[in-house]
Structure formats: C-alpha cells, structure tokens
Amino acid sequence: MAGALSDMHSLEEECLLLCQHQPGAAQDTSPLNNFNWDHCGKMEPACKRHFIQDTCLYECSPNLGPWIQQVNDSWRRERFRNVPLCKEDCESWWEDCRTSYTCKNNWHKGWNWTSGSNKCPVEAVCRPFESYFPTPVALCEGLWSHSYQVSQYSRGSGRCIQMWFEPAQGNPNEEVARFYALAMTSRAMLHGIGPLLLSLALMLQLWLLD
C-alpha cells in the first residue's frame, strides 16, 4: 500500500503543478466547467490566482476526501462541503479580490448559462467584491455554498486545509486530512452509524495512516 500511496501523492503533485502553470491559468475561464471569472469585466490577476488555486485544489487533491458528500446536481454527483480553510488563506483571498467585480454573492447557482458559459442574471448589478462579500468569511463560505468553512486555525497548525503550498516541499494537507478522518471515524463509531459509512471511514483511515 505504501507504494500505491507514494504514486498517488506523486500524481497529486504533478496535477497541482500542471494545473497551476497550464496556459488556461492566464485565460478568462475555469478549465473545470467553463466558468467565466471575468463575468463583470477583467478580474485582477491577484484575485484570479486564488480562483485558479481553488480549482486546482478541487481537481487534484485526494486530501479533501473527509469532506466529500454525494449530491444530485445535473452536472456532478459529489462535492466537498465545509472544508476547514486556513484563516490566512481566506483573508488573503478576500483582500486580493476586494477591487475586482462580480454580480452575485453565491457563484454555485443562479447564472445564465445559455451562451455556454456563465453570464450575470438580467437583474444583477456588477459591483466590487466587497459589496457582495463584506467580510472574508462571507466570501469563502458563501461563494460556493459552503464548500469551505473558515477555520480559526492558522497555516501550519495541522488543523486546517492550506490552499497555498509548494507541492515539491511536501503537502501539509495530508496531516489535516488524517486528523479529521480519524475524528470522523471516532464519531461514526460513537453514534452507531451504519456499517457502510463506517466501512468507508475505516478505509480512509487506513489509506491515510499507511
């Protein structure tokens, strides 16, 4: 199993590096779902880099496993929810995006997709991010319908997911996923949750501990 895990982590590192440096990173849309970041004019590069990193984390990281939930959306069957995002990463995301523009405080739904990419609803008004997201928490938790939950823990604590890190220097999110997977397993056992859920939790525990 150790060899398989090493291969998986190498693939994650490779995916992150490719995602962060692909030509599409300088374009206007997300490679994940053709989402147009420039829906209210050109997004500032300092702001856009956070959305690129968010996409790369979603596409590449197996360490979000403890927060994956099944959904019945038309375009996906699972999502992550309430990932504990390190507070500094949220604060820098908000600070870098304050002067860019958007027209909605929830990007998860409510867009006009008739053109093939997202357009603002007819009644929506483009305003600075700060108008729709007055605080860092409003941005990070409201943007994607609570995909993230802003943690009170700091980067390097082992208790929150870091959006930013150098893959070649090791992934701090492995320790975080291990901690929460164990905690979730303990709660499942304590509350007598069904065998299937418990089995999944134990499999995740073994994967992370190997």
Q: Render the burial of 85-116: b for 16+ CB within 10 Å, e for the rest.
A: bbbbbbbbbbebbeebbbbbeebeeebeeeee
Is the pLDDT at 104 greater than 60? The verdict is yes
Q: How confident is the model at residue 7 (pLDDT cuts 50, 70, 90)?
A: very low
Q: What does the pLDDT look like over 154-208, one tens digit per residue? A: 999 999 999 998 877 888 999 999 999 888 877 666 565 555 455 555 455 545 5
Which position has the higher pLDDT, 75 or 151? 151
- Report the share of the chain in percent with pLDDT over 70: 73
The pTM for the full model equals 0.81
Looking at residue 198, its pLDDT comes to 52
- As given in the structure block, the two tokens for residue 185 are 């397993």
Q: CA 146 to CA 111: how far, in whole Å?
A: 18
Q: What does the pLDDT look like over 8-41, one tens digit per residue? A: 455 566 676 666 665 544 567 776 678 999 999 9
Looking at residue 9, its pLDDT comes to 54
Q: For residue 114, give the DSSP letter.
A: T
